[in-house]
Homo-oligomer: A and B are copies of this chain.
């Protein structure tokens, strides 16, 4: 087993990897940009190495600095997390050259699946069903022509993309033209590759993905599906396992196809095959994510398998600790991505300081986060603050736990997506499991509440505190201000007692 793992990431996923390593008795080395010196992953790791300024391309995206930090730390393995360089085969190759084990699939598998067009070809050969679409490397004019043939609505996707980046949905030829330019620009920027392709947008389809695990000894298994249809602009907001519409037979079929897909690219380590699933139980390959997914915890909660530990074991040449027969899901798990976005305002990214934090607890409640009091949330990185996962014996129980945990979760100092999640867990369609990827329109913004009571309560509290402040800011003598300010504490307001009535 490894002695020390360098974690080439930040935020909650870096914390997640620190935890797995720590539990396995492996030392951890974190890396941090200038914006992250005080971040949780830096403090939870055994060691920490500065790798550059806040801008990701000057730090977390610098392969040279990551390799140098790994060398300085004496790490014998590197975990890429998700995002950043996790699906860049160059990092996997640089690790290999430096004699450091990359905790992920072979560079060849990353490259094969990373080029979405190559991936489509490989999958077609392996007999994996595909969504109708084009190849890449076509000009805008060629794409426009093919687009008309396939029919609208269409997705414009980046050949090198993934995770919704550089992705656009278009409804007609005029829109297509504009979208191609924007998608190419975004793809060039995000991946250094402006090739795009088209894919038919299937109406009413769900996004359902299969988790696979493979070791270097020829064992490839799947851990069942995740339902990820609650998205806004192709960004997942809520995921669950299992899916409300996948039965045992469909799960077996999808799992078989996913395992076949992984084998087709010589896959080793954890990976995810994303499918579109239509109302007739037909499913179509979308793409393979050759890394840990943000939403891996829901699979962990129902299967009991620690996926990060499996990744590490597999990378160290060990066998998977579970066989396909050992995978017996229990209960239901749902994850909410708690982000620094304002759901009342079109999910605008927010920044600010976390001045108070209260995390939820109790049975079946898991928080994977990088959150702490005093944290400065900046706009440099992904807005994900934490993942709240609730497990229950049944979907209803899981939702009940989620509802309670969302009430307990308090992040004070900036807007977060929590109100959206609180809203979602009351929506009849969500409660019934009746939704597809169009559940949230692209421009979805949370409607303001209609209850009068919270307004009244806020008015009462603001008035009491304002009143108190006004009393306080009438200094009795000009000089005793300073000290009082530092020791003053808001007093209790109790304008009518109840206990007194009882005590008599």
Residues of B near A372 (CB, < 8 A) are 358
Interface bits A381-412 vs B (CB < 8 Å: 1, else 0): 00000000000010001001101100110000
Question: Shortest distance in angstroms between A332's beta carbon and chain B's nearest beta carbon?
Answer: 11
Shortest CB–CB separation between residue A210 and chain B, in angstroms?
20
Q: Report A223 CB to chain B, min CB distance, Å.
A: 14
State the Cβ distance, A369 to closest chain B Cβ, in Å. Answer: 6
Interface string of A461-489 (1 = CB under 8 A from B): 00000000000000000000111011000
CB-defined A-B contacts under 8 Å, sample of 13? A15-B362, A22-B404, A23-B401, A23-B403, A37-B492, A51-B499, A304-B331, A359-B359, A361-B366, A362-B366, A363-B366, A373-B373, A482-B483
Tallying the copies of this chain within the complex gives: 2
Contacting A330 at CB < 8 Å: which of B330, B364, B368?
B330
List residues 24-78 of chain A with CB under 8 A from any CB of chain B.
Answer: 24-25, 34, 37, 44, 49-52, 65, 68
Report yes or no: A363 in contact with B368, Cβ–Cβ below 8 A: yes
Please report the C-alpha to C-alpha distance between residue A68 and residue B363 in the assembled complex, in whole angstroms: 31
Give CA–CA (A83, B87) in the complex, Å: 55
Neighbour of A50 across the interface among B297, B361, B408, B502, CB < 8 A: B502
**A interface, CB within 8 angstroms of B:** 15-16, 19, 22-25, 34, 37, 44, 49-52, 65, 68, 297, 300-301, 304-306, 321, 330-331, 356, 358-359, 361-369, 372-373, 393, 397, 400-401, 403-404, 407-408, 481-483, 485-486, 492, 497-499, 502-503
User: How far apart sit A300 and B408, CA to CA, in the bound complex (Å)?
Assistant: 21
Contact assessment for A24 and B400 in the assembled complex, using a CB-CB cutoff below 8 Å: yes
Do residues B34 and A499 form an inter-chain contact, with CB atoms below 8 A? yes
With the chains together, A15 CA to B366 CA distance in Å? 17
Q: Which of B51, B359, B361 contacts A368 (CB 8 A)?
A: B361
Contacts of A23 in B (CB 8 A): 397, 400-401, 403-404
- Residue of B with least CB distance to A20: B363
B residues near A408, Cβ cutoff 8 Å:
44
Pairs of residues from A and B, 8 with the lowest C-beta to C-beta distance, nearest first: A482-B482, A50-B499, A23-B400, A361-B367, A22-B404, A19-B362, A50-B498, A485-B486
Contact residue among B44, B65, B304, B502 (Cβ-Cβ distance under 8 Å from A52): B502
Residues A393 and B498 in contact, CB atoms below 8 Å apart: no
B373, B393, B400, B481: the one within 8 Å of A304 (CB): B393
Residue of A37, A301, A358 with most partner-chain B CB within 10 A: A358
Give the distance to chain B from A180, nearest Cβ to Cβ, in Å: 39
Q: Which residues of B contact A65 (CB under 8 A)?
A: 502
Besides A16-B362, A482-B485, 7 more A-B contacts (Cβ < 8 Å) are A23-B404, A44-B408, A50-B497, A358-B373, A362-B366, A482-B483, A482-B486
Give Cα A481–Cα B486 distance, bound, in whole angstroms.
11
Contacts of A305 in B (CB 8 A): 393
Question: Which residues of chain B come closer than 8 Å to A482, judged between CB atoms?
Answer: 481-483, 485-486
A503-B59 Cα distance, complex, nearest whole Å: 10
Smallest CB gap from A58: residue in B: B503
Which chain B residues lie closer than 8 Å to A367 at the CB level?
361-362
A37 to B291, CA, bound (A): 48
> Of A24, A305, A369, A404, which is in contact with the most chain B CB atoms at under 10 Å from its CB?
A404
Output the nearest chain B residue to A322 by Cβ-Cβ distance.
B393
Q: Are A363 and B22 in contact (CB under 8 A)?
A: no
Contact assessment for A19 and B363 in the assembled complex, using a CB-CB cutoff below 8 Å: yes
Do A365 and B363 touch across chains, with their CB atoms under 8 A apart?
no
What is the bound-complex CA distance between A368 and B363, given in angstroms?
A: 8
In the bound complex, how far is the Cα of B366 from the Cα of A363, in angstroms? 7
Query: How far, in angstroms, from A358 to B357 measured CA to CA in the complex?
Result: 9
User: Measured between alpha carbons, how far is A44 from B362 in the docked complex, in Å?
Assistant: 13
Q: What are the residues of chain B within 8 A of A24 when measuring CB–CB?
A: 400
A24–B404 Cα distance when bound, in Å, is 10
Residues of B within 8 A of A25 (CB): 400
Chain B residues within 8 Å of A486, by CB: 482, 485-486
**Cβ B366 vs Cβ A499 within 8 A:** no
Whether the pair B358, A368 counts as a contact (CB closer than 8 A) is: no
Residues of B within 8 A of A397 (CB): 23, 306
**In the complex, which residues of chain B have a beta carbon less than 8 angstroms from the beta carbon of A503?**
52
A376 CB → nearest B CB, Å:
13
Distance A486 CA – B487 CA, assembled complex (angstroms): 10
Residues of B within 8 A of A404 (CB): 19, 22-23
Report Cα–Cα, A356/B403, bound state, in Å: 26
CA A330 to CA B373, docked complex, whole Å: 35
Shortest CB-to-CB span from A484 to chain B, Å, is: 9
**Contact of A297 with B363 at beta-carbon distance under 8 Å, contacts A50-B499, A65-B502, A306-B393 already known:** yes
Contacts of A497 in B (CB 8 A): 50
